[in-house]
């Protein structure tokens, strides 16, 4: 294939190929083919040979070095690429292509902070000329920030990557951005877009603010933060400038300085809602910084006899063996025990529903590993607990239970993770006696969470409250903004652990005025609202178009209460309801009702789903079976409620003879409900049925259960 000599030369000189690297164009094409075919080592050999034919001061040498560096990056040798490019740039200082590659190699080799100046210079020089490369650089930054749980920096880097992405890569980058916004493990106020605030001032000050905005547009967040910080020193009473500086620090991954900046902006804003938003971000970043210090640690023991140790642990009244699936682990433990702060006997032998404060609390858990068959690893026990008193108590209890079966090793207090102090009690595990039904467990879990809110969270010092608990701070009018933000922070934690928090009740209990609902008209634009402001929308007052937009945002952010409110409103309006997938809507509402511990409410939405006609291309049998499987899964959570026994009989008597593959599904249902399958032996053989089925054993030539290729198909275990 002939080379177009009038295309820009790939060396990065900016000249046409005819007037630059034309003498080596054939060799360039050959190397490109080798790289495209994945023959990276032959490509390096060809490049080395070609480099001996050119002089170091030529553009051809620059192409050879940049191409060699690209191959090193593909071979995951970024340090070699970085060193080659650094040397090249000493003589080819104006080669922007090489500089952008240098930034990518530096980031991959040295991480973000040591490479920050290089990266921001690359954005400054290359965003117009090589936007696609800058997009890849931004994705690399997002990957680094994600590994650190620096979520605002991750999100903004992905947004930057989308801004510069090539047309054929935009969809992939956009999906990556949506994955960040949809990640339920990220506190919801940190997700979504955070826009720079509007600022008005003197001509000189507005010019400086716009300079910072331009830095933001090209990803130079440190330069933008420095610009806004300098302006903030000139205008110490301007909240928008402090706010802008804090955002840029967060986008640059500097969460400690960002938290301080958000605290400052919150103090300066006279608009309570803006102050609360900044304070919420400040507290979340402050909590994130506290988790950088590992307080969850691991302590190992040698084990002289695993079988005797298991017997000893099984007999101890403060240890409980847990059933877990370790089949996917490369080295699975023989057993796992939770260690509790009190005896389990009273709860095991007691009656009725225990009170939340009667439930034993976990101090840690211990994993028992057998020795490797080839002798490469000895038997050991690994204890994970919080450092300090809890670890010491757990060690003492294990040694008391095991006697001389446990020996000391050198692996002590190995850091595992950092858990923010204010969340430790809220996510601490407790013992629920096996005599309780699934419904009783859900009821008790609900009571326990509310008890912890009142007795633990409300009385424990929290981030941003000057060493005070929310209960204490709520009595100080000067701390109104901080307490309101603390409630939003609590709400974000509840959403992370899939708890439907009644935030209005929390405000009422602390006697703190909640933020008012936004005033909206059908013309009010919603696209630029922050995530926190979206929670303040008066859902029932939105126009149909606004409701659709709110629904899309709610589906993305997955805030349980807001999503529930929006979905309920959609069911009341024919036009928006006609535009959504009703099956998904009703199932989502069913899940929300379960979060509210409203089992009858979940059944109501199953009933609404059953009224829907089968989609085109889906048989009535397949459609009904899908509904029945979903309902049976749900009813397994409350098998004592009328309806479970009848539906399980339908599966055993009617569906199972036609579809033997359903046995795996039914066994999982049985495990959830803790009730044996009727008429089925331990080996999985149907021993009896109430009535003969009409179709006998299902065979592939029966069209009634054929899966639809249009999306209405039926999943079966083993398929």
Query: Are residues 583 and 612 in contact, defined by beta-carbon separation less than 8 angstroms?
Result: yes
Q: Check whether residue 618 and residue 651 sit in a common domain.
A: yes
Q: Check whether residue 690 and residue 707 sit in a common domain.
A: yes
Enumerate residues 6+ apart whose C-beta is below 8 A from 172: none
Q: Check whether residue 185 and residue 232 sit in a common domain.
A: no
Q: What is the pLDDT of residue 354?
A: 92
Q: Looking at the domain assignment, is residue 450 inside a domain?
A: yes
* Domain housing 216: 203-289
Distance, in Å, from the CA atom of 557 to the CA atom of 408, rounded to the nearest integer, reads: 47
Q: Which CA distances in Å does 375 have to 6, 299, 371, 378, 410?
A: 67, 22, 7, 7, 19
Res. 251: pLDDT tops 60: yes
Query: Are residues 187 and 492 in contact, defined by beta-carbon separation less than 8 angstroms?
Result: yes
Tokens encoding 375: 């002798």
Q: Check whether residue 300 and residue 412 sit in a common domain.
A: yes
Q: What is the mean pLDDT of residues 151-162?
A: 97
Distance, in Å, from the CA atom of 450 to the CA atom of 51, rounded to the nearest integer, reads: 71
Res. 244: pLDDT tops 60: yes
Q: What is the mean pLDDT of residues 118-123?
A: 96
Residue 435: pLDDT band (50, 70, 90) is confident
Of the residues 143, 164, 192, which one is the last residue of a structural domain?
Answer: 192
Q: Check whether residue 265 and residue 302 sit in a common domain.
A: no
Q: Looking at the domain assignment, is residue 656 inside a domain?
A: yes
Please give the mean pLDDT across all residues of the chain: 89
Of the residues 482, 510, 538, which one is the last residue of a structural domain?
Answer: 510
pLDDT tens sequence across 440-493: 888 999 999 999 999 999 999 998 899 999 999 999 999 999 999 999 999 999
Q: Check whether residue 262 and residue 231 sit in a common domain.
A: yes
Tokens encoding 681: 């032996």
Can you spell out the DSSP letters for 300-345?
EEEES-HHHHHHHHHH-TTEEEE----TTSSS--SEEEEEESS-SH
Q: What is the pLDDT of residue 359?
A: 94
Q: Looking at the domain assignment, is residue 198 inside a domain?
A: no
Q: What is the pLDDT of residue 18?
A: 66
Mean pLDDT lowest among 496-500, 515-519, 681-685? 681-685
Q: What is the mean pLDDT of residues 74-78?
A: 93
Q: What is the mean pLDDT of residues 180-188?
A: 93
Of the residues 510, 531, 559, which one is the last residue of a structural domain?
Answer: 510
Q: What is the pLDDT of residue 20?
A: 79
Q: Check whether residue 660 and residue 627 sit in a common domain.
A: yes
Q: What is the mean pLDDT of residues 272-296?
A: 89
Q: Check whether residue 387 and residue 306 sit in a common domain.
A: yes
Backbone region of residue 375 per phi and psi (left: phi > 0; alpha: psi in -120 to 50; beta: other values): left
Burial profile 312-331: b = 16 or more Cβ within 10 angstroms, e = fewer: bbeebebbbeeeeeeeeeee
Q: Looking at the domain assignment, is residue 620 inside a domain?
A: yes
Q: Which residues pair with 430 in a beta bridge?
A: 361
Q: What is the pLDDT of residue 292?
A: 66
Q: Looking at the domain assignment, is residue 134 inside a domain?
A: yes
Query: Are residues 461 and 467 in contact, defined by beta-carbon separation less than 8 angstroms?
Result: yes
Could you tell me the CATH number of the domain that includes residue 369?
3.30.70
pLDDT tens sequence across 597-616: 899 999 999 999 999 998 88
Q: What crossing angle do the helices spanning 480-496 and 272-290 adopt, rounded to 10°?
A: 60
Mean pLDDT lowest among 54-58, 126-130, 484-488, 588-592? 54-58
Mean pLDDT lowest among 8-22, 404-418, 501-515? 8-22
pLDDT tens sequence across 525-534: 888 888 899 9
Domain count along the chain? 5
Distance, in Å, from the CA atom of 259 to the CA atom of 254, rounded to the nearest integer, reads: 9
Mean pLDDT lowest among 435-439, 581-585, 684-688? 684-688
Res. 5: pLDDT tops 80: no
Q: Check whether residue 182 and residue 213 sit in a common domain.
A: no
Q: Looking at the domain assignment, is residue 71 inside a domain?
A: no
Res. 643: pLDDT tops 70: yes
Q: What is the pLDDT of residue 700?
A: 35
Residue 178: pLDDT band (50, 70, 90) is very high
Q: Looking at the domain assignment, is residue 566 inside a domain?
A: no
In the chain, the percentage of residues whose pLDDT exceeds 70 is 93
Residue 267's Cβ-side half-sphere holds a number of Cα atoms within 13 Å equal to 10
Q: Which CA distances in Å does 180 have to 168, 174, 488, 591?
A: 21, 10, 20, 22
Q: Looking at the domain assignment, is residue 308 inside a domain?
A: yes
Residue 599 CB coordination number (10 Å)? 20
Mean pLDDT lowest among 81-85, 418-422, 700-704? 700-704
pLDDT tens sequence across 189-214: 999 999 999 999 999 999 999 999 99
In the chain, the percentage of residues whose pLDDT exceeds 90 is 68
Tokens encoding 194: 């955070």
Mean pLDDT lowest among 188-197, 267-276, 705-714? 705-714
Q: Check whether residue 214 and residue 256 sit in a common domain.
A: yes
Res. 352: pLDDT tops 90: no
Q: Which residues pair with 319 in a beta bridge?
A: 339
Distance, in Å, from the CA atom of 652 to the CA atom of 403, rounded to the nearest integer, reads: 50
Q: Among 202, 257, 267, which residue's Cα sits nearest to residue 237?
A: 267
Q: Among 190, 170, 171, which residue's Cα sits nearest to residue 180?
A: 190
Predicted model pTM: 0.86
Q: Check whether residue 235 and residue 264 sit in a common domain.
A: yes
Residue 265 CB coordination number (10 Å)? 28
Q: Check whether residue 170 and residue 275 sit in a common domain.
A: no
Res. 699: pLDDT tops 50: no
pLDDT tens sequence across 369-416: 999 888 888 999 999 999 999 999 999 999 999 999 999 887 777 888
Q: What is the mean pLDDT of residues 89-93?
A: 92
User: What DSSP state is assigned to residue 161?
Assistant: H
Could you tell me the CATH number of the domain that includes residue 217?
1.25.40.10
Res. 4: pLDDT tops 80: no
Res. 717: pLDDT tops 50: no
**Nearest-10 Cα torsion for 102, 108, 110, 112:** 90
Mean pLDDT lowest among 116-125, 222-231, 318-327? 318-327
Residue 587 CB coordination number (10 Å)? 17
Enumerate residues 6+ apart whose C-beta is below 8 A from 33: none
């Amino acid at each position: 294939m002939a080379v177009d000599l009038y295309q820009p030369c790939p060396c990065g000189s900016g000249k046409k190929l005819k007037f630059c690297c034309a003498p080596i164009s054939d060799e360039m094409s050959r190397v490109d083919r080798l790289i495209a075919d994945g023959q990276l080592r032959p490509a390096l050999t060809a490049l080395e040979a070609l480099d001996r034919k050119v002089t170091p001061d030529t553009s051809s040498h620059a192409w050879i070095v940049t191409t060699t560096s690209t191959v090193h990056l593909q071979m995951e040798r970024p340090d070699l690429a970085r060193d080659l490019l650094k040397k090249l740039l000493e003589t080819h200082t104006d080669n922007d292509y090489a500089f952008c590659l240098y930034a990518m190699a530096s980031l991959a080799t040295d991480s973000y902070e040591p490479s920050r100046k290089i990266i921001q210079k690359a954005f400054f020089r290359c965003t117009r000329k090589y936007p696609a490369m800058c997009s890849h650089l931004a994705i690399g930054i997002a990957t680094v920030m994600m590994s650190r749980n620096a979520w605002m920096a991750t999100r903004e880097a992905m947004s930057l990557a989308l801004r510069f992405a090539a047309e054929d890569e935009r969809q992939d980058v956009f999906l990556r951005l949506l994955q960040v916004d949809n990640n339920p493990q990220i506190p919801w106020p940190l997700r979504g877009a955070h826009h720079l605030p509007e600022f008005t001032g003197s001509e000189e000050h507005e010019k400086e603010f716009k300079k910072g905005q331009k830095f933001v547009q090209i990803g130079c967040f440190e330069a933008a933060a420095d610009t806004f910080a300098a302006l903030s020193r000139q205008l110490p009473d301007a909240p928008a400038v402090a706010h802008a500086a804090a955002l840029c620090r967060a986008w640059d991954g500097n969460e400690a300085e960002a938290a301080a900046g958000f605290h400052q902006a919150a103090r300066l804003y006279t608009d309570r809602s803006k102050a609360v938003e900044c304070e919420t971000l400040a507290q979340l970043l402050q909590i994130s910084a506290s988790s950088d210090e590992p307080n969850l640690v691991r302590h190992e023991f040698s084990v002289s006899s695993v079988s005797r140790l298991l017997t000893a642990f099984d007999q101890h009244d403060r240890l409980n063996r847990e059933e877990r699936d370790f089949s996917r682990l490369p080295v699975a433990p023989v057993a796992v025990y939770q260690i509790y702060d009190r005896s389990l006997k009273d709860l095991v032998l007691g009656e009725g529903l225990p009170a939340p404060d009667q439930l034993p609390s976990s101090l840690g858990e211990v994993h028992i590993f057998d020795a490797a068959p080839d002798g490469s690893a000895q038997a050991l026990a690994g204890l994970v607990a919080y450092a300090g008193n809890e670890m010491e108590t757990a060690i003492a209890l294990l040694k008391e239970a095991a006697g001389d079966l446990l020996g000391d090793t050198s692996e002590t207090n190995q850091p595992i993770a950092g858990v923010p102090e204010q969340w430790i009690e809220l996510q601490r595990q407790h013992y629920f006696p096996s005599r309780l039904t699934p419904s009783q467990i859900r009821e008790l879990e609900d009571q326990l969470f509310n008890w912890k809110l009142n007795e633990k969270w409300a009385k424990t010092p929290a981030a941003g409250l000057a060493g005070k608990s929310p209960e204490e701070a709520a009595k100080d009018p000067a701390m109104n903004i901080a307490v309101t933000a603390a409630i939003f922070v609590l709400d974000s934690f509840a959403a992370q652990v899939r708890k439907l928090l009644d935030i209005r009740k929390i405000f009422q209990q602390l006697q703190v005025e909640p933020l008012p609902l936004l005033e909206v008209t059908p013309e009010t634009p919603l696209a630029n609202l922050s995530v926190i402001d979206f929670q303040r929308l008066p859902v029932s007052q939105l126009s149909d178009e606004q409701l659709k937009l709110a629904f899309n945002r709610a589906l993305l952010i997955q805030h349980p209460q807001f999503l529930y409110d929006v979905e309920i409103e959609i069911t009341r309006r024919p036009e928006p309801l006609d535009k959504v997938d009703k099956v998904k809507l009703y199932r989502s509402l069913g899940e929300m009702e379960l979060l509210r511990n409203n089992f009858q409410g979940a059944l109501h939405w199953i009933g609404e789903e059953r009224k829907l006609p089968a989609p085109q291309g889906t048989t009535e049998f397949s459609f009904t079976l899908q509904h029945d499987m979903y309902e049976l899964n749900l009813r397994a959570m409350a098998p004592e409620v009328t309806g479970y026994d009848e539906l399980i009989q339908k599966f055993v008597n009617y569906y199972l003879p036609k579809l033997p593959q359903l046995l795996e599904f039914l066994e999982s249902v049985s495990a959830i409900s803790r009730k044996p399958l009727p008429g089925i032996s331990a080996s999985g053989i149907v021993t009896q049925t109430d009535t003969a089925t009409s179709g006998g054993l299902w065979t592939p030539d029966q069209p009634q259960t054929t899966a639809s290729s249009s999306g209405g198909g039926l999943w079966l275990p083993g398929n």
